Amino acid sequence: MPTVTPSRDVLSLAPVLPVVVLDDADDAVPLARALVAGGLRAVEITLRTDGALEAIRAVAAQVPEAVVGAGTVLTPGQAEAATAAGAGFLVSPGWTERLLAAATAAGVPFLPGVSTASEVMALLERGVREMKFFPAEAAGGPAFLRSLAGPLPAARFCPTGGIGPETAREYLALPNVGCVGGTWMLPADALADRDWARVTELARAAASLRG
């Protein structure tokens, strides 16, 4: 599996970070291969289903060209289990001191979620520079991040939540945005039909959003 040291590298792998929710872990490997074929190397598999850890383990073992991470990490135990399964990075909708400590101890990049300037400042004090902005559209969208760029230039974000191909470009044009998280390249009907060619096509379009 490719090694990613600072979380900044995760934000730089591709303009879009696919946020994957899988009910069937058997779909993880072909889905990851389809995303990579379209130019999206980083894949966030959320810990929202029973098979999520198995899916992470399979992608880490069988798709070496992908950088697989765990999303919706809520507890220190989940952080430990995800990294043990092979997750190369962790993503959370928010953060606590205990979760931040566990993610740091896990030794992989961590994108903690923020939605206020105070949360950003608190993480900057702790040496964290790369964060998830969530829920992006509901929490102020591009205008919010544009406002933070001046007073808090050290912070860099992966906005996620309600973003589609129409709005992704506006986020990606901001100097403090490394990538955006989204699901639009993973339509439910394509996943149900295991239409990996369609996923690759949508991933390729997403990968070209910043160019």
**Which residues are marked as active site?**
44, 132
The pair of three-digit structure tokens given for residue 130, joined into one six-digit string: 């790369």
Radius of gyration of the chain (CA): 16
∠ Cα 195 134 33 (to 5°)? 25
Neighbouring C-beta atoms of residue 152, cutoff 10 Å? 14
Backbone φ and ψ of 196, nearest 5°: -70, -30
Cis peptide before 135 (omega within 30 of 0): yes
Backbone φ and ψ of 18, nearest 5°: -65, 130
